[in-house]
Amino acid sequence: MSNAADTAASAPAPESRPFEADVAKLLHMMVHSVYSDRDVFLRELISNAADACEKLRFEAISEPALLGDDPKPRIVITADKEAGRLVVEDNGVGMSREEMLEALGTIARSGTKAFMERIEAAQSKEGAQLIGQFGVGFYSAFMVADRVDVVSRRAGSDEAALWSSDGKGAFTIAEADPAQAPARGTRVTLHLMEDAKSYAERWTLERIVKAQSGHVPVPISLVEKPGEEAKEIADGAALWTRPKSEITKDEYVDFYRSAAGQFDDPALTIHYRAEGRHEYTALAFVPSTQPFDLFDPDRRGRMKLYVRRVFITDDAELLPRWLRFVRGLVDSSDLPLNVSREMIQQSPVLAAIRKGLTNRVIADVEKLAQNEPEAFTKVWEAFGGVIKEGLYEDFERQEQLLKLARFRTTAGDGWRSLADYVGAMKENQTAIYYLAGGNLDQLKASPHLEGFLARGVEVLLLTDPVDSFWVTTAQGFEGKPFKSISQGAADLAAIAKADAAEAPTAETSEEVTGLIAFAKETLGDAVSDVRASDRLTESAVCLVAADHGLDRQLEKILAASGQQAPIGKPVLEINPTHALVAALAAKGKDDEAFRTDAVRLLFDEAKILDGERPEDPRGFSGRLARVLERALR
């Protein structure tokens, strides 16, 4: 008696804790805004249960005692329409009290705030697809339940814990009665809302399970009423082990949605079995919409590794990080079941699988580009910015990826390949010209383009941050190097202007040459040089980077990130044919103060056109006032 009393006294007291603010906000959004997605809650709970069973199978490789006398994994759904309850129970690995606190009290560890911002931004556009797209998992239960109870016992433990919440801002956690807890695993009890009682009906549950979760690698059974015998509604046969010819498109889509936590249709399905030196089966999907975690700072992939149908890990790098949007799995026949996750990462078998899978994904995407250009365009619009990371990181495949890449250019609004670009190069054009910047509209308005547009020379418009990096390492395409039009001299004299009747540009007058020399002396160390421009046709001035060093956009990226980099002084180019420059050169010689103000204003104008602010706003304002005052006399 005293032992029982001592145990009760030492047991952790029930705790009530608030959710993180963003979790509470998310729950409110789901309950009040996304009812049309309700069915997805069951898929999410079943996916969690299947993962728990697979994790137990892995842990049992080194600790067989964890399975006890119940080695076969299972998921059991129990409906109780009269009581308005739905129970999803598994005999998987289970959770300790601490694991429940971590798993059920937080959300989106890689940035809850950013996660919420994506949901809010998409809510008005995505509608019914919101929940599936963002994979909110367990919390989707609150779309149909006004209270959720979770009882769990960690495999190998005598203790069980009870987590409970109404989804309105707080949850409680306490020790559970061991007699009422599963012998191992987790039981989730949903107390259904009045208008969600249909989720306790057999036909509704069978329909959802077969449509969304019929291919999880764990058998699923249904108990129509408490006390009745369970009926198997999904046999746990792994989809990827079946021949492709026996699998329908709908089955692939259902499996993709269940495994990837997405609600779109895959743009590309890749299913094959590799035989020979290494044997493995791969089932991979290219989504048609961006997953919410595409730009997580850790850039982790989401491919799962199985060994002979036993789940091993989802941390193995089965694809390079620039293919992290691909979802799916690899099931190997060569890796040992008892290998540690750390040893897997150094395994030569895994390295061979990684190379083979990467090559196959790229090859199938290339076929998509060739055979279904419209479908490929959608893939590129969603993931092109990520694929281009491979241009910088994967030198071995750089040439292959350059052929695959698509770009916005000055030739029109559509996407262009580098083969298209090279095929349209002008006579005497020796380089592939590009302009990198923050957004497309800003680039199209850049004065750097003027001389190229006048000659009909196409320019790549690069807006992804990675663009400024890969162009510095790329060896070129079909023998043509990449050249930034915001760096160094434009060298356009050899290329004829589009208007053949237009007279050639006159040589710079002595007066303009004098103005350039004066500007160079006046600006001093603020610039590395001042020179006449052959790239400007409409604007008076622009800034370019020096011939050697970094491109203007790369300088800005490195400066904004705080990285130590050799950022040089810009070159100020002056358009010698511009009316303002000509007038200033002719009329400003007699007033040095006015000329100084005008030159500094031209420098400030060039900065503004380049997306920067004048370094001295007060000085800029004063100079502008003095020049306007002189003009109005």
> Within the chain, how many helices (H) and strands (E) appear?
22, 22
Q: Taking 50 as the threshold, does the pLDDT of residue 4 lie above it?
A: no
Please count the structural domains in the chain: 4
According to the model, what pLDDT value does residue 484 have? 92
pLDDT of residue 271 exceeding 70, the answer is yes
Q: What is the mean pLDDT of residues 263-279?
A: 92
Same domain, 232 and 281: no
Strand, helix or coil for residue 283: strand
Q: Is the pLDDT of residue 126 over 50?
A: no
Q: Is 264 helix (H, G, I), strand (E, B) or coil?
A: coil
Is there a domain that residue 355 lies in?
yes
Alpha-carbon distance of 378 to 325, in angstroms, equals 14
Closest to 165 in 3D by CA, of 227, 208, 107: 107
Per DSSP bridges, beta strands 15-18 and 145-153 are unpaired
Provide the pLDDT confidence category of residue 324 given band limits of 50, 70 and 90.
very high
- Express each pLDDT in 205-246 by its tens digit: 998 887 677 777 899 999 998 889 999 998 888 889 889 999
Decide: pTM greater than 0.95: no
Q: Is residue 160 part of a domain?
A: yes
> Is the pLDDT assigned to residue 121 strictly greater than 80?
no
Identify residue 268 by its one-letter amino acid code: L
The residue behind tokens 């304002």 is 621
Q: Do residues 86 and 41 touch, judged by C-beta distance below 8 A?
A: no
- Judge if 477 and 573 occupy the same domain: no
- Say yes or no: 297 and 433 in one domain: no
CATH label of the domain that carries residue 407? 3.40.50.11260
Q: Enter the tokens of residue 554.
A: 């790369």
The DSSP secondary structure of 212-256, one letter per residue, reads HSTTSSS-EEEESSTTSPPEEEE----GGGS-GGG--HHHHHHHH
Residue type, 18: P
Taking residues 616-620, report their average pLDDT: 90
**Strands of the 75-80 sheet, one edge to the other:** 15-18, 170-175, 160-165, 145-153, 185-192, 85-90, 75-80, 220-223, 231-234
CA distance 570 to 575: 16
Helix-, strand-, coil-residue percentages of the chain, each rounded to 5: 45, 20, 35
| Judgement on whether residues 77 and 209 belong to the same structural domain of the protein | yes
Looking at the structure, tell me whether residues 260 and 191 fall in a common domain: no
Residues 568 and 585 in one domain: yes
**pLDDT higher than 60, residue 8:** no
pLDDT score of 349 more than 80? yes
Longest C-alpha distance within the chain, in Å?
109
End-of-domain residue from the set 190, 213, 237:
237
Looking at the structure, tell me whether residues 459 and 529 fall in a common domain: no
514 and 438 both lie in a single domain: no
Cβ–Cβ under 8 Å, residues 162 and 178: no
The answer, yes or no, to whether residue 122 has pLDDT greater than 60, is no
Report if residue 497 sits inside a domain.
no
CATH code of 339's domain: 3.30.230.80
The most confident of 100-114, 123-137, 200-214, 559-573, by mean pLDDT:
200-214
Judged by DSSP in three states, 266 sits in coil
CATH code (residue 519): 1.20.120.790
Cα separation, 426 vs 423, whole angstroms:
9
Boundary of a domain, candidates 380, 406, 431: 380
In a domain, 396, yes or no: yes
Q: Are residues 329 and 443 in the same domain?
A: no
Mean pLDDT of all residues in the chain? 85
Q: DSSP secondary-structure letter at 327?
A: E
Structural tokens at position 316: 């193995």
Pick from 71, 78, 74, 77: which is nearest to 50 by CA? 74
Residues 6 or more apart from 336 whose CB is under 8 A from it? 307
Which one of 207, 237, 267 terminates a domain?
237
Residue 633 DSSP symbol: -
Q: Other C-beta atoms within 10 Å of 247: how many?
A: 17
Residue 120 forms part of a structural domain = yes
Same domain, 293 and 420: no
Higher pLDDT, 557 or 232: 232
Q: Is residue 462 part of a domain?
A: yes
Integer Rg of the chain from CA:
32
Between CA 491 and CA 483 the distance in angstroms is 11
- Whether 493 is in a domain gets the answer no
Greater model confidence, 112 or 441: 441
Q: The dihedral of CA 504, 509, 513, 519: what is its sign?
A: negative
Confidence class for position 599, pLDDT limits 50, 70, 90: very high
pLDDT tens by residue, 457-510: 999 999 998 998 999 889 899 999 999 999 888 888 888 887 754 544 445 788
* Domain region containing 426: 388-484
User: Would the pLDDT of 343 be above 80?
Assistant: no
How many angstroms separate the CA atoms of 566 and 563, rounded? 10
Indicate the pLDDT class of residue 131, thresholds 50, 70 and 90. Answer: very low
What is the 8-class DSSP label of residue 157?
-
- The residues facing 78 across adjacent strands are 87, 223
For position 2, what pLDDT does the model report?
46
Residue 496 inside a domain? The answer is no
What single DSSP character describes residue 576? T
Round to whole Å and give the CA distance between 401 and 395: 10
Same domain, 245 and 290: yes
Distance (Å, whole) CA 555 – CA 549:
9
Distance CA 424, CA 416 (A): 11
| Pair (186, 53) in one structural domain | yes
Q: Which amino acid is at 617?
A: P
Q: Which of the two residues, 31 and 77, has the higher pLDDT score? A: 77
Rounded Cα distance, 296 and 294, in Å: 6
Residue pair 33/126 in contact (Cβ under 8 Å)? The answer is: no
